[in-house]
């Protein structure tokens, strides 16, 4: 994301519909304008105007797939900014059983763009530290033992790139760091492909029984699922 003034960032996210769209896009998928319109509760024409504003600000980019055009968050740093800002927002309390269940699911495990967040993401961060798979001396770093465990699990450690391999990402529900960075993204992508994690339509993530053994190898002790 290009550097823009703080006031511009605030102006982009000040509109509730644009904020809702950005939160929806934190599931890491590419969305159509129509899907974003429904998620924000606005007309498609209004959604198109909001998307144009988000594109101009560098928050999202368009992706063409055949005849269809999609929108996705432009950069992991944008996703992290939105996730961080969400912790300061005033969240509407649950109004019913279904709403309350959704909130609990999101708090337990959800996507933060392309990596695991919520209580499960914090447990991953803490578990890997506790097991000596990562260290936190002058910043998070992967240890040789951690590299060996990830190799055994079939997780490819990303090499190079501008994105940090590991970083703490402040979780807005837990108010503690979950595991972010390129390695966290690679771990989640591998886990989703291996059936450890299942995405729900609302950003929530279901941690399956197949995840129990690999997560144990990563030192993770998950709290009770909602």
101 plus 197 within the same structural domain: yes
Q: Is 160 left (phi over 0), alpha (psi -120 to 50) or beta?
A: left
**CA 34 – CA 114 distance, rounded (Å):** 22
**CA 14 – CA 12 distance, rounded (Å):** 6
Query: Is residue 89 one of the residues assigned to a domain?
Result: no
* 21 pLDDT more than 80: yes
Instruction: From 59, 74, 89, give the residue that closes a domain.
Output: 74
**CA 134 – CA 124 distance, rounded (Å):** 11
108 plus 142 within the same structural domain: yes
Q: Which residues contact 33 (CB under 8 A, 6 or more apart)?
A: 44, 47, 48, 51, 69, 71
| Range with the poorest average pLDDT among 62-76, 91-105, 179-193, 208-222 | 91-105
105 plus 171 within the same structural domain: yes
Kind and range of the H or E run holding 40: helix 33-40
The pLDDT, as a whole number, for residue 166 is 95
Query: Is residue 226 one of the residues assigned to a domain?
Result: no
60 plus 120 within the same structural domain: no
Query: Is residue 225 one of the residues assigned to a domain?
Result: no
- Evaluate the CA torsion angle 86, 117, 122, 9 in order and state its sign: negative
The pLDDT, as a whole number, for residue 152 is 96
∠ CA 128-177-189, rounded to 5°: 60
28 plus 107 within the same structural domain: no
130 plus 37 within the same structural domain: no
More confident residue, 91 or 9: 9
**In a 10 Å sphere around its CB, with 0-12 CB exposed, 13-18 middle and 19+ buried, how is residue 160 labelled?**
exposed
The pLDDT, as a whole number, for residue 101 is 63
**CA 151 – CA 167 distance, rounded (Å):** 20
25 plus 61 within the same structural domain: yes
Q: pLDDT tens digits, residue range 69-113?
A: 889 888 877 877 787 676 555 445 444 444 556 678 888 999 888
* 4 pLDDT more than 70: no
Query: Is residue 133 one of the residues assigned to a domain?
Result: yes
59 plus 21 within the same structural domain: yes
The pLDDT, as a whole number, for residue 206 is 93
66 plus 130 within the same structural domain: no
* 217 pLDDT more than 90: yes
More confident residue, 188 or 24: 188
Query: Is residue 69 one of the residues assigned to a domain?
Result: yes
What is the number of other CB atoms lying within 10 angstroms of the CB of residue 144? 9
169 plus 213 within the same structural domain: yes
The pLDDT, as a whole number, for residue 170 is 80
- DSSP character at residue 204: B
Q: For tokens 């919520």, name the residue.
A: 118
How many structural domains is the chain composed of? Answer: 2
Q: Across the strands, what pairs with 69?
A: 64
Give 107-124 as a DSSP string. HHSEEETTEEEHHHHHHH
114 plus 170 within the same structural domain: yes
Q: For the domain that residue 25 is a member of, what is the CATH number?
A: 1.10.10.10
Query: Is residue 223 one of the residues assigned to a domain?
Result: no
Residue span of the structural domain in which 69 resides: 6-74
Query: Is residue 80 one of the residues assigned to a domain?
Result: no
115 plus 52 within the same structural domain: no
* 9 pLDDT more than 90: no
Query: Is residue 49 one of the residues assigned to a domain?
Result: yes
The pLDDT, as a whole number, for residue 5 is 64
């Amino acid at each position: 994301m290009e550097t823009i003034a703080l006031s511009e960032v605030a102006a982009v996210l000040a509109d509730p519909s644009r904020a809702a769209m950005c939160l929806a896009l934190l599931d890491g998928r590419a969305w159509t304008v129509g899907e974003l319109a429904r998620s924000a509760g606005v007309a498609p024409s209004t959604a198109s105007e909001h998307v144009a504003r988000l594109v101009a600000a560098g928050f999202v980019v368009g992706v063409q797939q055949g005849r269809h055009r999609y929108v996705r968050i432009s950069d992991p740093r944008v996703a992290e900014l939105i996730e961080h800002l969400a912790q300061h927002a005033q969240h509407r309390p649950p109004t019913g059983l279904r709403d309350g269940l959704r909130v609990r699911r999101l708090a337990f495990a959800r996507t933060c763009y392309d990596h695991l967040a919520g209580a499960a993401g914090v447990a991953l961060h803490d578990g890997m530290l506790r097991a000596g798979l990562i260290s936190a001396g002058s910043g998070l770093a992967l240890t040789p033992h951690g590299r060996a465990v990830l190799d055994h699990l079939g997780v490819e450690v990303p090499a190079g790139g501008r994105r940090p391999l590991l970083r703490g990402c402040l979780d807005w529900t837990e108010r503690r760091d979950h595991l972010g960075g390129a390695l966290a993204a690679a771990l989640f992508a591998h886990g989703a492909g291996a059936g450890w994690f299942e995405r729900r339509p609302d950003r929530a993530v279901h941690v399956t029984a197949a995840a129990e053994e690999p997560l144990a190898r990563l030192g993770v002790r998950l709290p009770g699922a909602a």
